[in-house]
Chain A
Amino acid sequence: MLGCLYVHCRSETTSQDKGLRKVTRPPAPSPRSCASRLCSVLAEKERRVKANDREHNDRFPYADNRIKTSKYNAFTFLPVNLFEQFQRVANAYFVILLILQLIPEISSLSWFTTIVPLGLVLAITAVKDATDDYFRHRSDQQVNNRQSQVLIRGSVQNEKWMNVRVGDIIKLENNQFVAADLLLLCSSEPYGLCYVETADLDGETNLKVRQAPNVTSDLGDVSRLTDFDGEVICEPPNNKLDKFTGTLHWRDNEYSLDNEKMLLRGCVLRNTEWCFGMVIFAGLQTKLMQNCGKTKFKRTSLDKLMNTLVLWIFAFLVCMGVILAIGNSIWESWIGRRFEVFLPWGESRSSAVLSGFLTFWSYVIILNTVVPISLYVSVEVLRLSHSLFINWDQKMFCGRTDTPAEARTTTLNEELGQVEFIFSDKTGTLTQNIMAFSKCSIDGQTYGDIYDEFDQRVEITEKTACVDFSFNPLCDRGFKFHDSSLVEATKREDPAVQEFFRLLALCHTVMPEEKSEGDLVYQAQSPDEGALVTAARNFGFVFRARTPETVTLWEMGRAVTYQLLAILDFNNVRKRMSVIVKNPEGHIKLYCKGADTLIFDRLDPSCSRLMNETSEHLSEFAGEGLRTLALACKDIDEEYYEAWAERLRCGSTAIEDREEQLAVLYEEIEQGMKLLGATAIEDKLQEGVPETIARLNLADIKIWVLTGDKLETAMNIGYSCNMLRDDMNEVFVVSGQTRLEVQQQLRSAKEHIVGLSRVSSPGDIEKSDAFADDSVFEEAIIAEYALVINGHSLAHALEPQLEHILLDLACLCKTVICCRVTPLQKAQVVELVRRHRGAVTLAVGDGANDVSMIKTAHIGVGISGQEGMQAVLASDYSFAQFRCLQRLLLVHGRWSYFRMCNFLGYFFYKNFAFTLVHFWYGFFCGFSAQTVYDQWFITLFNIVYTSLPVLAMGLFDQTLSKSYRTSVTRTVCATRACTNRASRTFSSTSAGSSCAPCRG
């Protein structure tokens, strides 16, 4: 979540120097504020805020609008910072060492040998923390002192942001930042609408519309607002940016509130002259701030290895100490005893054993240079620079969108070289996600293909003549369509075709923006919707304007205004959306578009013939790799609608289970619809995708495609990007509907590959843990197989009994494509591989539906494309094009890994070579813990004399030249083969260096 935080925090610092953004770490909540937040969350089951009533609101422990992201102040800095730093094991160790050195009986080195490096490391960290915090203070102060206009005692007064309280009513003007989480009360626009840009919250740049509750939208002037005394009862503060449930109680009525009526802190008001809002959450309790401070740490395997190594080094240190201490006891009792004439034992070492005990501690001090105090600092420096190299790489820069690659976390670079599985989304990741309306099927008739005089279908190329839309003055010039018969059908006023386009023009959530007469621009949240509305526009059903209650179309040149009664919105479970409108004639109609399977389940039985025809067309479209949607509509009886709408109103004011209740109601009305037809949208492959996939395949990285598309579409894309090939031995398609079927299909596929003998009998599925050794024969299979599995089947296959056989089979195949999968299933598949294979996984995607998978995988990669920024915000690396993955993994990942390994090897080597001198010298100096080197040399060896060479190697070493790298990707396998490289180097260096320094 680091990235997400960065954006949130950015919003608070926007007007500052840009350099600050990346320096500013996400503020970890200070213990105090955390505790207070915890208390308030514990105490706060629901929030009750009364407008214009500070006394009432002050009775609750609601936070004011002052934010504090800084950790320290001038007085607490030193103690708190030191306390934090000494929580790190290495630092604490050196303090213990320092204490040991103060005991004269033990002290073998002066105290400064420890305090100098420790002081340096502490000072560097402290200075860094202090500067970070200074900038946080500055930005806090700047944000807290922003001016906002607050309604106080009947007049609008200027007030600093930090003095704004919950329940206040504040006025916002155009292009102002929203000061707190507000309930929108009214605005300058009709119907209490206002527009906000949420780029700082979720990174999406399209304008979003917010609407005030109907009852308050006319409170346009100050005096009426002053009298407003509504009480909002809502959920306690949380970090869900897209959800809000609450109710407004005013004049003995209840009104439901949802996220559409909220203006969140961090948004910017656009295209709206002014608006008034009531503060619901302030300061640290705003959704923006609640999203800060939550960091998810992904650790690499090298990290773990490093920690283990350090522990081993500790153990090794103790071992050496014990050996030398025993040596000292023996030496003292055999030889030292006779040397007492010159050097009496004295009181403190009355016996050889005691002397040995003291010697142990002396050696712990002397040998401290094996424990690498500067290792962690150096590793941080290396990782940061490796990330910078990724950011700086021109070959991962996309010129078209002006997006450079961005390493959003610095800690995972070396893991990139270890990736074995890539889970990829299809839309927007493999494809461009620039949608073009390509074909459709209306009333059993397909449009979109063109035929020559012999009824042969003609391949559509750049040169194919486009349909002339000049009859329509409002058409979009960028729109291309080749089949003129559809235009003729619209001109004929064929009712089915008209209804089809009417649906496309009505059923969506697109915002129109008409800058000048006839110059329409659509703000669509998903490119599919944009493509469909644009198609309707060109065919004469122009979506012109939208208010919360109406939609205005320009149907074949005449304006028609529909009353918008309800929007049954889209989500990933429903996979469809509907609108209920009342046309000028007073008929109520429901228009629905969505995934074909879901629509077909809810059709009226009367159109089963049409359904068969349409589904044939649909599979034809999908076979060409097009994205399809089915469209249906339904006439609704007025009385029935009234009853339904009443229940909807009840349901939507409920605070608990609101979603479930609504889903049931939606389900109820979306029954018995009539099929209109289907649309097919084309989504072109991204540049360089097949080559990238081929190369990653060569590097033995397995690529699994997880897509929400249909089986046929997915397979088609699979063929076009080289994942499926005709020369493959077999492509298994698993699409069973029941568990038994799925099991049967998986089993037979596996039998096919490995032969009957290896497949366990049904009785011992539970015991099939034995598949751990499968990797042996996995290698032996040369033939190429592919597995395509359906979402339905995947749900069964992911059950505990079948997941092993699924994983087994999938790993035997060169290519795996899962289609029709939900976001949750995507995450489950990643989790499955991650858990059972122990391999490093990488998930790449661009949309909100990929977020779960990106977060689950070891490494998440976000493609910044058409679908907003949510995937990017959740990801560890982001860039604009799928093909950059090749460079990220095969060049940067590999280099990072090799550099890190070599760096660690070198680092441990130099420390061992240096320290073991003292070990061996012990045998010559009677194990008396005498040092060989000057104390200052010991002090500065690690942090001054040898820090640069190791860093230089860790930064610049290139194991293979770049040109060589990309040509022989196969070497990545070799990379992976030496996963334990660092540990091997470690043992060999310690062995090697132990011999090196003994020169009598």
Chain B
Amino acid sequence: MGRAKDKSGPLARRPDNSAFKQQRLPAWSPMLTANTVLPFFYLMALICMLLGVWLLLTVQSTREVKLDYTEHGACERCFQMRKNVSFAGEPCTCEVNFSIGKQFKGDVFFYYGLKNFHQNLRRYMDSRDDGQTVGRKNKLKNPSGYCEPFARDSNGVPIAPCGAVANSMFNDTFTLTYHQSSRSIPVPLLRTGLTWYTDKNIKYRNPAVDNLTLAQAFEGTVRPLYWQKAVYELDPDDPNNNGFINDDLIIWMREAAFPNFKKLYGILNRNDNVKFAKGLPSGNYTINITYNFPVQPFRGRKEVVLTTLTWFGGQNHFLPVAYLVTSSLLFLTAVVLTVVWWKFGKKGKNMQLTFQ
């Protein structure tokens, strides 16, 4: 407006006749009448219902087994044992049996689940040092203050990996066995390749090894207080899965958003044994558990989950149910509106006229 106009003459100050300035830009404002609103409601109800049914079918097509082994059978003993901290060093194993009625087709995923474990507390989530786990040498010996009180042990030696998150890492281990007519076949599980690419290759790095062993690289640090072995002993066989780039550690360090969660433990290796090439066959199975992780203090539960996945993920009914509920609500509203319209509005006035 302020710019000097180069026009002159009697209409020099006349505003420009542009669509923008005259507020004539193309616009659309829907007039809400029964003829448009009612079909819209029915249509939306239909669409939501179709989506819901489709998602429901997808979810139903996944197969899932969930076993709470916290106090299950033989694990009761271990549960009691882990109540007492003084037995923390003593190993305890137990096994859980289950059977599959129908074959699990395709890739089968093995999860462990925790309930009532709050990985999402702010101070818990803050209690880690990403600088350390990304392999910075100076951070390795100098963990950040956020890790307190799990930054150094009682002698002042830095902990690697430091912080409450790493310290509380889940340390039960599982082996799965398939029983085929008195023969026990171990079910092969892939224990690597479970993480995101960025986590494994960028976010987590071991300190530069050069020509040292990993143990030497971690020299001058101690393992977290609750751990039974040091970080460089997590998988001594596979240097690509040891130290900070251990899959189990990486998965644990990606904190769950809710107090009940499951984390990937392994994937069925279908190439190892012809028996499992098509997935898990039906039959009886046993899971051998090294029962280390105490859940009694916070009244938590532990479980294992075996499941197949679709594009939609695991067996999660939230979205299909939500769609179906929305659909039925829409339909209900539509019916009520139709009745109202039929009874009162049909021969009545236009909506705008009600203002008068």
Contact = CB atoms under 8 A, between A and B. Distances in A.
A402 B22 contact: no
A389 B29 contact: no
Nearest to A395: B22
B168 A393 contact: no
Interface in A234-248: none
A496 interface: no
Contacts of B101: none
Interface string B282-322: 00000000000010011100000000000000000010001
A62 B123 CA distance: 67
Given A108-B122, A397-B14, A973-B355, A339 B298 contact: yes
Given A924-B120, A926-B118, A959 B29 contact: yes
B1 A930 contact: no
Interface stretch (A19-27, A602-610, A614-622, A810-818): A19-27
B121 A388 contact: no
A516 interface: no
A333 to B, nearest CB: 14
Interface stretch (A340-348, A497-505, A778-786): A340-348
Contacts of B22: 392-394
A993 to B, nearest CB: 17
A362 B122 contact: yes
Given A22-B1, A397-B15, A404-B13, A339 B118 contact: yes
B343 interface: no
A945 interface: no
Interface size class of B (residues with CB under 8 A): 35 or more
A958 B318 contact: no
B124 A402 contact: no
Nearest to A960: B29
B54 interface: no
A109 B169 CA distance: 25
Contact of B10 (A23, A336, A394, A402): A402
A971 interface: yes
B227 to A, nearest CB: 13
Given A23-B2, A397-B14, A928-B123, A343 B352 contact: no
B122 A389 contact: no
A925 interface: yes
A968 B298 CA distance: 68
Given A926-B118, A928-B121, A21 B149 contact: no
B123 A961 contact: no
Contacts of A974: 355
B260 to A, nearest CB: 10
B297 A338 contact: yes
Contacts of B3: 18-19
Contact of A925 (B2, B21, B121): B121
Nearest to A20: B2
Counting chain B CB atoms within 10 Å of each CB, the highest count among A17, A335, A342, A346 belongs to A342
A961 B30 CA distance: 11
A746 to B, nearest CB: 32
A342 B21 contact: no
Given A17-B4, A338-B297, A339-B118, A958 B15 contact: no
A389 B23 contact: yes
Contact of A999 (B10, B116, B318, B355): B318
A344 to B, nearest CB: 6
B296 to A, nearest CB: 9
A932 interface: yes
A924 to B, nearest CB: 5
B356 interface: yes
A928 B259 CA distance: 13
A509 interface: no
B210 interface: no
B4 A19 contact: yes
B76 interface: no
Contact of B148 (A346, A391, A394, A403): A346
Nearest to A891: B23
Nearest to A394: B15
A1000 B2 CA distance: 54
A956 interface: yes
A968 B123 CA distance: 61
Nearest to B294: A341
B274 to A, nearest CB: 42
B167 interface: yes
Nearest to B299: A338
A716 to B, nearest CB: 33
B212 interface: no
B298 A335 contact: yes
Among the interface residues B127, B167, B298, which one has the most CB atoms of the partner chain A within 10 A? Answer: B298
A968 to B, nearest CB: 7
B29 A930 contact: no
Interface in B22-77: 22-23, 25, 27, 29
A159 to B, nearest CB: 31
Contacts of B356: 970
A971 B14 contact: no
A368 to B, nearest CB: 16
Interface in B243-279: 257-259
A929 interface: yes
B122 A392 contact: no
Task: Give the residue among B23, B148, B297, B322 with the most A Cβ atoms within 10 A.
Answer: B23
Nearest to B296: A338
A800 interface: no
Given A391-B15, A402-B11, A930-B120, A958 B23 contact: yes
A508 B299 CA distance: 101
B19 to A, nearest CB: 11
B20 to A, nearest CB: 9
B16 interface: yes
Contact of B21 (A17, A344, A392, A999): A392
A756 B334 CA distance: 53
Interface in A299-351: 335-336, 338-339, 341-344, 346
Contacts of B298: 335, 338-339, 341-342
Contacts of A393: 15, 22-23
A584 interface: no
Interface string A377-406: 000000000001101111001010011100
Interface of B: 1-4, 10-17, 21-23, 25, 27, 29, 116, 118, 120-125, 127, 145, 148-149, 164, 167-168, 257-259, 294, 297-299, 318, 322, 352, 355-356
Given A925-B122, A956-B23, 4 more contacts: A18-B2, A391-B1, A961-B29, A1000-B258
19 contacts: A18-B4, A22-B1, A339-B118, A339-B298, A342-B167, A343-B121, A389-B23, A391-B15, A397-B13, A402-B11, A403-B13, A924-B120, A924-B259, A925-B257, A926-B118, A928-B124, A961-B27, A971-B352, A973-B355
The 6 closest A-B pairs by CB, nearest first: A19-B2, A392-B21, A930-B122, A928-B122, A925-B120, A342-B168
